[in-house]
A and B are shown apart, each in its own frame.
Chain A
Amino acid sequence: MTATESTTAEAVVALSDVRKTYELGGTVTALDDVSLSLAEGSYTAVMGPSGSGKSTLLNLIGGLDTPDDGNVRVGGQNLGAASEQERATVRGTEIGFVFQTFNLMPRLTAVENVALPLVFDGWDRTERLDRAREVLDRVGLGDRYDHEPAQLSGGQRQRVAIARALAPDPSILLADEPTGNVDTDTGAGIMELLAEINNAGNSILLVSHSRRIAEHAERIVHIRDGLIEEIETVTPEVA
């Protein structure tokens, strides 16, 4: 193991020498020997050009995909060696996904959408609906419990998605371009919400093209062609 970064005890996510390739006519190396550690409560952004491997990185950490080589540890569990069922459990309890296109269930209300991860985690119905309302209150949608996604604005949908990601109290929030489908003002609101969530102690990994968005994080990981180019520490703006 040639970890370029030591895995600290409080690391919620630790990747070491992770490689991911796709066979498609030729071999596409989406990630090449990537090692990265995310401390508990940290806020990290990933930047890089299109096709550089940002989404691939998120999918591996989120247990949606498995590495060809190397270790992906989330909350102490090695996802590379985990069974499909174990990865599903990690996705449902350790990870909170926020997508660019919201990805809400169209026929479920806001509360039901937020409660969905808890359904698969075997929560009792009243408990999970209570929890969903609590989280919706936290993202400022206390008055939209029973709205379906089609009855909500883009910004509101993304807030529901963030609430859903927070519902199981995960180890880390993975957000892939969370502001990509909303206008600038709404995006600012979303970023403010993520900052609040981070301040409350949640770890966040954010993918963005935009430096302005990425600067909300404490660190920016620059990747290009599947390789980590640089890990930049963001100096807090002096107001």
Chain B
Amino acid sequence: MDPRETLRIAGRSIRAHRLRSTLTVIGIVIGIASVVVFASFGASVEASVIDDIGGTDANNVYLLPASTDDEGPAGGPGLGQPVFTQHDIEQLREVKGVETVLPRGIVQLSAVEHDGQTVAQRQATATTPATFDNDSVVAGRGFRQGAAELVINERAAAAFPGNLSVGDEVTLQLASGDRETLTVVGIVSGTRGGFLSSFGDVQSRYYLPTEPYYRTTTESPTLGVDQKAYPQVTVTTAPTAVQSARAEIEAYAAESDATRLLPAGFEVVVQTSGDVVEEIQDVIDRITRFVTGIAVIALVVGAIGIANITLVSVTERTKEIGIMKAVGATNRDTMQLFLTEAVLLGGIGAVVGVPLGLLVGFGAAVYAEVSFTLPINWIVFSVAMGVTTGVVAGLYPAWRASKVDPIEALRYE
């Protein structure tokens, strides 16, 4: 029969029971909106994380100790140990394609003073001036090696009443009890350098030159002399040489001082931003799929609502089915009619649910301060889900309708 007439009859029957159709549609709207909310929020978080990490540090290769056992604890005694010796750093500088090697050490602090105000701060990062590229410095400049100079991030600047600014003097209380007075020469955005440190902007950061403030030393197994040693190294490569440099760095890492210094069960891992991005993407993907899977339950509940209401509709309209069959409706026409009714309910649910879900997902993205990403494939999926839900939910009731015996039905009051 004419599909437009089918739609018209189905639509009329939905409109005849406005309240109950609305309630059924609300069930589907909730299901589809939940799927869209979680999917779009997940996609937004993923996109901004990748943007944060992948964008600025694409040429970075990170060297850091990690447990050799995948199942092992994420932290542990090997992780914070100063194992990358000055010898390692010099060797890494020789690798083809490497532009800079940034050692990163931790200087333990207890507090920071300025102008009579004291703010607690656990640690400062000791590194080299090459850490600061022009993009990251929002005021002043990077420090010079060997000078009593300090670079802080915006968060750290805001930690003091009246804000720290370039030129201010700051006294660091070291954990050792020593006090060092330095001049703030630069303010950077975010948290610079270091493994994953560019994600988020929540912690106060203090950056010091390794000379003269970083004093941790270890005996280099290769050279047999005491040298400065660092827990983490970031290597910046030429943009075109990331992969080749990485391979060479891995080869060196196996025979480095760091590998020899690490306790059993730990090794030096070499990661690029790409690896990190992939790992994070994977984790967020998995979380998104899991949460979205839960939202699908809401959709299933909605589908049961449609099945229920369509079944009620079939029962109520048994007589009408009989009439239609008496005037020439085939079993297929009858089935089509009720299936259309169910699909229409599911479709309306999708049409209302998708924008609603996007709106809420957008709100969540704004709240979480990530830029909103439209998950097109998930939207297509949700609309398809709405329609499929209608089909699946309507199939049994529609089949029942097609099996109605017209003689019985016409006798039905």
Contact = CB atoms under 8 A, between A and B. Distances in A.
Partners in one complex: yes
Interface of A: 59, 62, 64-65, 84-85, 88-89, 91-93, 97, 99, 103-107, 116-117, 119-122, 125, 164, 168
B327 A97 contact: yes
B2 interface: yes
Interface in B325-377: 325-333
B331 A88 contact: yes
Nearest to B15: A107
Given A107-B16, A122-B2, A125-B2, A85 B332 contact: yes
Given A64-B406, A64-B407, A103-B410, A120 B323 contact: no
A232 to B, nearest CB: 28
Contact of A103 (B12, B16, B323, B328): B323
B406 to A, nearest CB: 5
A166 to B, nearest CB: 12
Contacts of A88: 325, 328-331, 333
- Please name the 4 residue pairs, one residue from A and one from B, whose CB atoms are nearest each other, closest first: A92-B328, A120-B328, A117-B327, A88-B330
Nearest to B330: A88
Determine the main DSSP class of B at the interface with A: helix
A116 B327 contact: yes
A91 B407 contact: no
B95 interface: no
A84 B330 contact: yes
Contacts of B333: 88, 120
Chain A CB within 10 Å, residue with most, of B320, B326, B407, B410: B326
Contact of B329 (A97, A103, A120): A120
Given A59-B407, A99-B410, A89 B331 contact: no
B259 interface: no
Given A116-B327, A119-B2, A105 B320 contact: yes
Contacts of B324: 105, 116, 120
Contact of B1 (A85, A99, A122, A164): A122
Interface in B300-328: 319-320, 322-328
Contacts of B319: 103
B332 A91 contact: no
Given A59-B407, A64-B406, A125-B2, A97 B326 contact: yes
Contacts of B330: 84-85, 88-89, 120
Nearest to B13: A107
B327 A92 contact: yes
Contacts of A89: 328, 330
Contacts of B16: 107
B327 A120 contact: yes
Contacts of A92: 327-329
B4 A125 contact: yes
B20 to A, nearest CB: 15
A125 B5 contact: yes
Contacts of A62: 326
A116 B326 CA distance: 11
A91 B328 contact: yes
A122 B330 CA distance: 12
A62 B4 CA distance: 28
Contact of A105 (B2, B5, B323): B323
9 contacts: A85-B330, A92-B328, A99-B410, A103-B322, A120-B1, A120-B327, A120-B329, A122-B1, A168-B328
